[in-house]
Amino acid sequence: MSSEFRLSMHGQWSGRLAFILAATGSAVGLGNIWKFPYITGDNGGGAFVIVYLICILLIGIPVMMAEILLGRKGGLSPINTMAMLAREENRHWLWRGLGWMGAIAGLLILSYYSVIAGWAMAYTVRMASGVFVGATADGATSIFVALTSDPERLLAWHTLFMLITMMVVSRGVQHGLEKAVRFLMPLLLIMLLILVGYATTTGAFTEGLNYLFYPDFSKLSSDSVLVAMGHAFFTLSLGMGAIMAYGAYLPKNISIAKTTFMIAGADTLVALFAGLAIFPIVFAHQMAPAAGPGLIFKTLPIAFGQMDYGILFGTLFFVLIVFAAWTSAISLIEPMVAWLVENKNLSRIKASVYIGMLTWFIGIGSVLSFNVWEKATWSIPGLFQSINFFDTLDALTANILLPLGGLFIAVFVGHLMSRRKVLEELDTQALLFKIWYALIRYVSPLLIIIVFLKAIKFI
């Protein structure tokens, strides 16, 4: 069987399930549980959710298929994959810049992702200690503020999270990761269901449900549309090479289309469950949906503080969030690490340590963004209003670099690669292929461009 597998120097997934697990591990993370609820709250609810779902369908899924396809065809780190495919297709060498842009975006994302994952780690300890038992909204909020206003604590947790990420990356992404995802992801889904179950008892479940799914398009600004589109990329790990890097380790005989549907489906489900768990708590306790990045940390502890076995469930839940963040973090630096291993002849261990240290250092800026630098903001008139270091990194990566990466991926696969080569990799039903090809050639790129132009008020 192995003869049909392209051998890559980084190893290969043991099969379809392993790839699905790893890619799902990358996709399901803080984006689903931490970010989706708070940006939904910041952007007014239902209408935002609808736009996000449309983006997943018309942009995210087609681009994910394209990205896996590129990765498997190239079989190398995204930078070298793009360099090689551009050469093969007689395209400009600058196309490797797409790989570079993604690798850098990955580091920037991980730098703040690790800080937030650090919050979740801190919360496992707080949950286990029982401080949330019987907590009120005010109590939970003040515990959150006490944590984030202390830069030293945040730095310690950020450091610990970067260390465990470097540990796994240095051993190679296949080891251990598969097992972790196989058991922990289903467990996470069960915990979310328990939380949704609790949410139905708060008396504000319908209010939460309405908030999440009843669209009020008057609340939707062009910026919100950009955030929704950016999040579609972020939550599916697209536009920066993570999925391309994982695709490089994918055996040839596996259907890219089917695999993509499963990953995108699981990812969306987790996000919607998280929303369904959180908003009823928000409304039952008269809290503000637009509470920013602290939203889940201010709301979920109240639920755990009131339910039976709350200490146990709460601790377990935050442990699972840390795991989900961990399996995403690994994929965020994989493109850069894989490139260093290929081109600079570094061992995986050295490459991970160097990249990890750099990322850790950039992360200090985000640690400070929740306390000393909180008010150190700047603006670009008409585009960004008083954003600090963390907000800037978030906006730059999720709203600009990832969609831009996705746009280039769509153009490359849709217009610059020969149809025959694309068809070879994407050996799927004729009708499905036609639909996908139309999406990746026209619909996805045009939508991305329109959303960008709208956001800068150009149209």
Total residues contacting ligand PHE (rule CB under 6 A)? 15
Q: Which is nearer to ligand PHE, 323 or 452 (CB)?
A: 323
CB 323 within 8 A of CB 121: no
Q: Choose, by CB under 6 A, the member of 109, 162, 181, 409 that binds ligand PHE.
A: 109
Q: What distance in Å separates the CA atoms of residue 208 and residue 281, rounded to the nearest whole number?
A: 8
Q: What is the DSSP string of 223-242?
A: HHHHHHHHHHHHHTT-SSSH
Length of the chain: 459
Neighbours of 188 (CB within 10 A): 24
From 9-17, 22-30, 40-48, 66-74, span contacting ligand PHE (CB under 6 A): 22-30
Residue placing its CB nearer to ligand PHE in the complex, 289 or 406? 406
Cβ 327 to ligand PHE shortest distance, Å: 9
Stretch that binds ligand PHE, among 144-152, 153-161, 179-187, 235-243 (CB under 6 A): 235-243
First to last CA, the chain: 53
CB of 234 to ligand PHE, least distance (A): 5
Contact range with ligand PHE by CB under 6 A, out of 139-147, 236-244, 372-380, 449-457: 236-244
Asked if 444 is part of the footprint of ligand PHE (rule: CB under 6 A), the reply reads: no
Q: Does 332 bind ligand PHE (CB under 6 A)?
A: yes
**Residue 240 interacts with ligand PHE (CB under 6 A): yes or no:** yes
By CB under 6 A, name the one of 23, 30, 68, 401 that touches ligand PHE. Answer: 30
Q: How far is the CB of 253 from ligand PHE (least distance, A)?
A: 26
Q: How does DSSP assign 359-379, residue by residue?
A: HHHHHHHHHHHTTTTTT--EE
Report in angstroms the alpha-carbon separations of 338 from 242, 334, 357.
Answer: 11, 6, 16
In sequence order, which residues have a C-beta less than 8 Å from that of residue 239 and are 6 or more positions away?
63, 67, 102, 105, 233, 401, 402, 403, 404, 405, 406, 409
Q: How far apart are CA 397 and CA 394, in angstroms?
A: 5
Distance of CA 182 to the CA centre of its chain: 19
The least CB distance from residue 109 to ligand PHE, in Å, is 6
Q: What number of other Cβ atoms are within 10 A of residue 214's Cβ?
A: 12
CA neighbor of 55 nearest in space, from 235, 180, 285: 235
Assign residue 457 a region (left: φ > 0; alpha: ψ between -120 and 50; beta: otherwise): left
- The window from 24-32, 136-144, 160-168, 426-434 that contacts ligand PHE (CB under 6 A) reads 24-32
Torsion of CA 187, 258, 406, 342, to 10 degrees: 80
Pick between residue 240 and residue 411 the one whose CB is nearest to ligand PHE.
Answer: 240
Stretch of 26-34, 156-164, 360-368, 421-429 lying at the interface with ligand PHE (CB under 6 A): 26-34
Q: d(Cα 368, Cα 375) in Å, to the nearest integer? A: 10
**Residue 163 tokens, joined:** 């260390």
Among positions 12, 165, 235, 259, the unique one binding ligand PHE when judged by CB under 6 A: 235
Among 13, 123, 234, 283, binds ligand PHE (CB under 6 A): 234
Closest distance of CB 244 from ligand PHE, Å: 10
Contact between 12 and ligand PHE (CB under 6 A)? Answer: no
Near ligand PHE by CB under 6 A: residue from 8, 23, 31, 72: 31
Q: Measured from the CB of residue 121, what is the shortest distance to ligand PHE in angstroms? A: 15
Amino acid at 281: I
Report if residue 26 touches ligand PHE, rule: CB under 6 A.
yes
Q: Which of 46/60 has CB closer to ligand PHE? A: 60
Applying the rule CB under 6 A, the residues between 134 and 193 that interact with ligand PHE are none
Q: Which of residues 278-307 bind ligand PHE (CB under 6 A)?
A: none
Comparing CB distances to ligand PHE, the nearer of 109 and 407 is 109
Helix (H, G, I), strand (E, B) or coil at 385: strand
**Contact residues: ligand PHE, CB under 6 A:** 26-27, 29-32, 109, 234-235, 237, 240, 242, 328, 331-332
